[in-house]
Amino acid sequence: MSIDEASRHALHEAAAHNRWTPEVAVTLMELLPPSGWGDVVRRSDLNALEARMDLRFRIVDARFEAMETVFDAKFDAVDARFEAVDARFDAIDARFDAIDARFEAVDVRFDSLEAHIDLKLEATIEKALNRSIRWTMGTMITLAGASVGAVALITNLG
């Protein structure tokens, strides 16, 4: 049943003259809360609840801000550690670059030494070959001369 203005007025009149009809009793029952006044919330109760909730949210926000500060500091520390590790890797890379440069210098020295050895070997082989050719030529000339002399001797004797 919905309460209209006429029902409210009848309730007021009945209360004022102390006459209670069944319709007036129903109107009164419709106006009362179904489970008692203890379950009815007043605006002041809601305002107090809102204030308590605001306080709790501010406390939670403050905790989050404090944790954010702590976490920021921890993340900054982790970042610093990573930067230190990166610096170490950069130093190791620089050392490997220096070692590579040394190996390249050694390669250049080996190439130079190999070229020098090749020149010496070629000169030695050329010298040995020239000696061998001269010895062979000398031997051949000597043998040719001896042969010519032997032929001349045989023809003169003969």
pLDDT in tens, 53-109: 999 999 999 999 989 988 999 999 999 999 999 999 999 999 999 999 999 999 999
Residue 81, pLDDT score: 96
Does 72 share its domain with 111? Answer: yes
Burial class, 135, CB count within 10 angstroms (exposed 0-12 / middle 13-18 / buried 19+): exposed
Does 53 share its domain with 27? Answer: no
Does 70 share its domain with 148? Answer: yes
> Nearest CA to 7 among 148, 111, 25?
25
Does 98 share its domain with 145? Answer: yes
Q: 35 phi and psi, to 5 degrees?
A: -120, 10
Residue 38 has pLDDT above 80, yes or no: no
Structural domain count of the chain: 2
pLDDT digits (tens, 9 = 90+) for 98-156: 999 999 999 999 999 999 999 999 999 999 998 999 899 989 999 888 888 888 888 88
> What's at 137, amino acid-wise?
M
Whether the Cβ atoms of residue 2 and residue 26 lie closer than 8 Å to each other: no
Q: What percent of the chain has pLDDT over 90?
A: 51
Does 108 share its domain with 128? Answer: yes
Does 35 share its domain with 73? Answer: no
Burial class, 124, CB count within 10 angstroms (exposed 0-12 / middle 13-18 / buried 19+): exposed
- Per the structure, the complete domain to which residue 145 belongs is given by 41-157
Does 60 share its domain with 109? Answer: yes
Does 8 share its domain with 72? Answer: no
Does 94 share its domain with 134? Answer: yes
Does 31 share its domain with 75? Answer: no
Residue 158, pLDDT score: 64
Does 11 share its domain with 80? Answer: no
Does 18 share its domain with 47? Answer: no
pLDDT digits (tens, 9 = 90+) for 43-53: 999 999 999 99
Whether the Cβ atoms of residue 28 and residue 3 lie closer than 8 Å to each other: no
> What's at 42, amino acid-wise?
R
